[in-house]
């Protein structure tokens, strides 16, 4: 039983010293270089941060960023990764929740960091990278960790308009990584192609497969996803064998016709998650790469990125609906009905999850934590927390779990989780917006905002671009005289949906 991910890093650094661990188009780090860098960063951070504190990390899409994360862990801290390309207002919201006394930034983000509402210690990566490692201090800091210590806090959309910071422990992360590597058979011959932003939950596989399994990860430049021929060229040049991508990322090359020009020759494994896979795109992948292992994964950040998986062995058709499958090892899944009793087999109930993979809660938010992580209502005998996902599921006859949508107004858009309520809260802050309703046109993957008032659509979009991440900006804005209403006065969303273009 390991006490922290640091034990895994120590072991892989010893076993794979001169092998490439992380690579981007401009540079690469071997396992021993990466390990040494985390020790230097950890030593420098230990001089300004206490063990057990959060360290906010704002660093770009390059090989040094994972070293910043693990450097914070070497200092006995946990990291809160932040995407420095997000608007200032959003970054300030996140900083107000995490209240980190220390922020580690790369030089490219220093100017931005200096304009934020942050009065703690600002540490610049390039200035501390050469700090000599102090092994005595590092072992003292490592000794403060237990497997239930927080490892990271990752932020996600909150319906009240404030982002929620999901706290994951070392134990949860290691449990998930072991379970998913078993299904995908990830080993030291694998080269991962990282698509997910490094601050996002989906990147944990690309960061921790090298640390736990000796794999390598290549960080693919973001704009290559707009140029499909360049994307497949990169996958082949880097001999990439395994991809854990969002469904939106897997769709892109198929949508843009990338297979007309070539295919990823070395690919053996493709795991996708984040939203429901439209099988007409998976079919294109299967036709071109019939021998690849395809895995459909389902689960929320609150259960460490996942809950269940389904290995796609059949050839899919355009209208195939993939199961979300069976629980990973150490994940317990149950379906509960509205009255908190078990849902009979074959009927639809809320997907609930328990096990050592449950998040420690939402950072600094006891109220929402207590409402979402509750005592298993079926267990009166001992403490057993479950997380109610808000997702609906049904056990099929073959024992696989099927996905049946959301209970609330949370959507998945371009691989990101969004509360429609948060879009509306934001729109109401725009001068000239009286009333509004945000809706998602699933088939066209388009976020709509219906609104009343004098504001122009341009004014609204500009406000969103200045305050919210790009994926939360409505794509279509429709100005109405009045929002259609139901007899009880609530907005009639079904009628609004008929206004989709």
Partner 1 sequence: MKELMEILEELRPDVDFENETALITDGILDSFDIVALVGELNDAFDIEIKPNNLVPENFNSAKAMMALIEKLQDE
Residues making contact with partner 1 (CB under 8 A): 222-223, 225-230, 248, 252, 255-258, 260-261, 414, 446, 457-458, 461-462, 465, 470-471, 475
Cβ(72)–Cβ(78) under 8 Å? yes
User: Which pair of structure tokens corresponds to residue 353?
Assistant: 């999850």
Q: How far is the CB of 209 from partner 1 (least distance, A)?
A: 24
Complex with partner 1: residue 79 or 218, whichever CB lies closer: 218
Q: Output the smallest distance, CB 191 to partner 1, in A.
A: 22
- Minimum CB separation from partner 1 for residue 260, in Å? 6
- Token pair, residue 27, equals 């540079």
Closer Cβ to partner 1, 250 or 360, answer by number: 250
Please tell me the distance from the alpha carbon of residue 96 to that of residue 86, in angstroms, as a whole number. 15
Tokens, residue 238 = 């880097």
Question: Residues 341, 343, 348, CA angle at the centre, nearest 5°?
Answer: 135
Rounded to whole angstroms, the Cα distance separating 422 from 390 reads 17
* Closest CB 59 distance from partner 1, rounded Å: 17
Tokens of 299: 């689960």
Please identify, using beta-carbon distances, which residue of 371 and 462 lies nearer to partner 1. 462
Report residue 196 as tokens: 């997910």
Q: How far is the CB of 414 from partner 1 (least distance, A)?
A: 5
Smallest gap from Cβ 250 to partner 1, in A, equals: 12
Name the minimum Å distance from CB 306 to partner 1: 24
Task: Give the DSSP H or E segment for 191.
Answer: strand 191-194
DSSP, collapsed to helix, strand or coil, labels residue 75 as coil
Q: What is the DSSP string of 264-293?
A: -TT--EEEEESSPPPHHHHHHHHHH-TTSE
Identity of the residue, 140 or 226, whose beta carbon is nearer to partner 1 in the bound complex: 226
d(CA 435, CA 108): 40
**Residue 492 neighbours by CB under 8 Å, 6+ apart:** 483, 484, 485, 486
Q: How many Cα atoms sit within 13 Å of 346 on the Cβ side?
A: 1
For partner 1, the closer CB: 261 or 408: 261
């Amino acid at each position: 039983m390991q006490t922290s991910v640091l034990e895994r890093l120590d072991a892989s650094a010893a076993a794979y010293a001169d092998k490439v661990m992380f690579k981007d188009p401009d540079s690469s780090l071997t396992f021993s270089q990466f390990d040494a860098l985390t020790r230097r960063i950890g030593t420098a951070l230990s001089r300004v941060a206490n063990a057990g504190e959060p360290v906010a990390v704002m660093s770009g899409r390059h090989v040094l960023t994972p070293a910043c994360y693990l450097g914070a862990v070497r200092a006995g801290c946990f990291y809160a990764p932040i995407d420095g390309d997000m608007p200032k207002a959003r970054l300030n919201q996140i900083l107000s929740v995490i209240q980190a006394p220390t922020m580690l930034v790369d030089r490219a983000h220093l100017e931005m960091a200096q304009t934020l509402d942050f009065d703690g210690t600002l540490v610049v990566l390039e200035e501390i990278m050469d700090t000599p490692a102090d092994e005595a201090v590092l072992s003292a800091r490592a000794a403060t960790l237990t497997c239930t210590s927080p490892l990271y806090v990752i932020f996600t959309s909150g319906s009240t308009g404030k982002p929620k910071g999901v706290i994951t422990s070392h134990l949860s992360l290691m449990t998930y990584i072991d379970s998913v590597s078993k299904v995908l058979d990830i080993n030291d011959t694998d080269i991962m192609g990282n698509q997910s932003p490094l601050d996002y939950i989906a990147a944990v596989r690309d960061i921790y497969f090298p640390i736990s399994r000796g794999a390598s990860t290549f960080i693919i430049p973001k704009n290559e996803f707009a140029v499909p021929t360049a994307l497949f060229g990169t996958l082949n040049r880097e001999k990439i064998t395994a991809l854990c991508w969002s469904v939106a990322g897997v769709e892109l090359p198929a949508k843009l016709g990338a297979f007309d020009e070539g295919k990823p020759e070395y690919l053996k494994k493709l795991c996708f998650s984040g939203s429901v896979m439209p099988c007409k795109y998976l079919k294109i992948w299967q036709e071109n790469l019939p021998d690849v292992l395809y895995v459909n994964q389902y689960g929320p950040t609150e259960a460490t990125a996942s809950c269940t998986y389904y290995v796609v062995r059949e050839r899919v058709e355009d209208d195939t609906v993939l199961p979300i499958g069976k629980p990973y090892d150490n994940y317990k899944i149950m379906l509960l009905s509205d009255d908190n009793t078990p849902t009979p087999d074959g009927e639809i109930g809320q997907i609930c999850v328990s096990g050592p993979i449950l998040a420690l809660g939402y950072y600094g938010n006891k109220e929402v934590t207590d409402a979402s992580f509750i005592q298993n209502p079926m267990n009166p005998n001992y403490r057993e927390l479950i997380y109610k996902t808000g997702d609906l599921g049904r056990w099929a006859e073959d024992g696989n779990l099927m996905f049946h949508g959301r209970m609330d107004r949370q959507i998945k858009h371009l691989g990101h989780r969004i509360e429609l309520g948060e879009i509306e809260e934001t729109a109401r802050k725009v001068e000239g917006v009286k009333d509004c309703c945000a809706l998602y046109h699933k088939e066209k993957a388009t976020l709509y905002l219906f609104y009343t008032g004098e504001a122009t659509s341009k004014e609204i979009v500009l406000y969103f671009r200045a305050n919210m991440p790009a994926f939360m900006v409505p794509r279509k804005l429709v100005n109405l005289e009045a929002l259609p209403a139901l007899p009880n006065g609530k907005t009639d969303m079904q009628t609004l949906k008929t206004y989709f273009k």
